[in-house]
Homo-oligomer: A and B are copies of this chain.
Amino acid sequence: MARKADVGDLVERAQKGEPRAVARLISLIENASPQLRPVMAALNPLAGKARIIGLTGAPGVGKSTSTSALVRAFRAQGLRVGVLAVDPSSPFTGGALLGDRVRMQDHASDPGVFIRSMASRGHLGGLSWAAPQAIRVLDAAGCDVVLVETVGVGQAEVEIASLADSTIVLVAPGMGDSIQAAKAGILEIADVFVVNKADRDGVQQTVRDLRNMIALADPGGWKPPIVPTVAVRDEGLGDLVEQLGRHLAWMEGAGELQRRRQARARDEIEAIAVTTLRERMGDLHGHQRLDVLAGKVLDGSCDPYTAADELVEGLTGP
């Protein structure tokens, strides 16, 4: 763990874009270090400039390839790019398990690109606690764009959307079932649909399915465009970047960018507050207290709500 005197130094080096300092700060988040408090206090005024773009989709749609292609596209515009790859399926290990980080090696020697994987372990408050802090690190380190990629299924997709200014939902031809299954969710979160692997059979059908789904929902306001890509050959990436730019311009005009960032800050504050309260529940009562209550619920002598009241009372009582 960094000593107290190191915090200022670490932050200063991260602000200059030094990769090792950035990596160190993100490790502090993964380890839920007590030093996060002064670190975030120092970083917060430096952040707020980056565009945050979320990228999600079912396994097999080509998320890593697409992220890598987007990195190239933004780099070609001279922008500094951060990538945060979140793996919500790895709650047990310290490191994230994203399989083909290998492709990301393309960017390993580029000083304008930061890439970090992060496991979102449940006991730390999960994605909603850790990810905004990691994004702040990349933002303060001078990234113009931060791509947040997740192995997106279920709840994680929704959380990614709540972290980002714009969310890309990736699908691939012939995955009709997964579109069907995710329908309710992806329409709510997608700002841009990408149909990747658009050189495969069935791309027209997939585009039609998406178009119908969007038309049926018709929420007014922003209508998510559908961009076919072949990320492995960088095809369609120009169009994707353009549509992301359109979305950003629309959000700025409609006050939506401010609204989303405000909601994000609220979520982050609440997640930190809940984590604090959770820690206090452990600290004050000790696990013994909770064990006694759990025993009573099990033997039927106390119901879970009354047991929870007893826990809460210890925090909020006089």
Which residues of A are in contact with B by a Cβ distance under 8 Å? 36-37, 40-41, 44-45, 47-48, 58-60, 88-93, 97, 99, 120, 122, 126, 132-133, 151, 153-159, 177-178, 180-185, 188, 261-263, 265-266, 268-270, 272-274, 276-278, 280-281, 287, 290-291, 293-295, 297-298, 300, 302-309, 311-312, 315-316, 318
Contacts and interface: CB of A to CB of B under 8 A. Distances in A.
Chain A interface secondary structure, helix, strand, loop or mixed?
helix
Contacts of A306: 41
B298 A261 contact: yes
Contact of A304 (B58, B269, B278, B307): B269
Given A155-B91, A294-B265, A45 B185 contact: no
Contacts of A300: 44-45, 47-48
A40 B268 CA distance: 32
Contacts of A280: 316
Given A265-B298, A293-B269, A305-B40, A92 B59 contact: no
Contacts of A154: 88-89, 151, 153-156
Nearest to A43: B303
Given A92-B184, A276-B312, 9 more contacts: A37-B303, A40-B304, A44-B303, A122-B158, A154-B155, A261-B298, A262-B295, A270-B290, A280-B316
Contacts of A318: 318
23 contacts: A37-B305, A41-B305, A47-B300, A48-B298, A48-B300, A59-B178, A89-B182, A90-B184, A92-B185, A99-B180, A151-B154, A153-B154, A154-B154, A155-B155, A155-B156, A262-B291, A262-B294, A266-B294, A269-B294, A270-B278, A272-B304, A273-B308, A274-B277
Nearest to A269: B307
Nearest to A93: B184
A152 to B, nearest CB: 9
Contacts of A307: 269, 272
A50 to B, nearest CB: 13
Given A89-B154, A155-B155, A97 B184 contact: yes
Contacts of A188: 92
A257 to B, nearest CB: 11
Given A45-B300, A126-B155, A272 B308 contact: yes
Contacts of A183: 97
A58 to B, nearest CB: 8
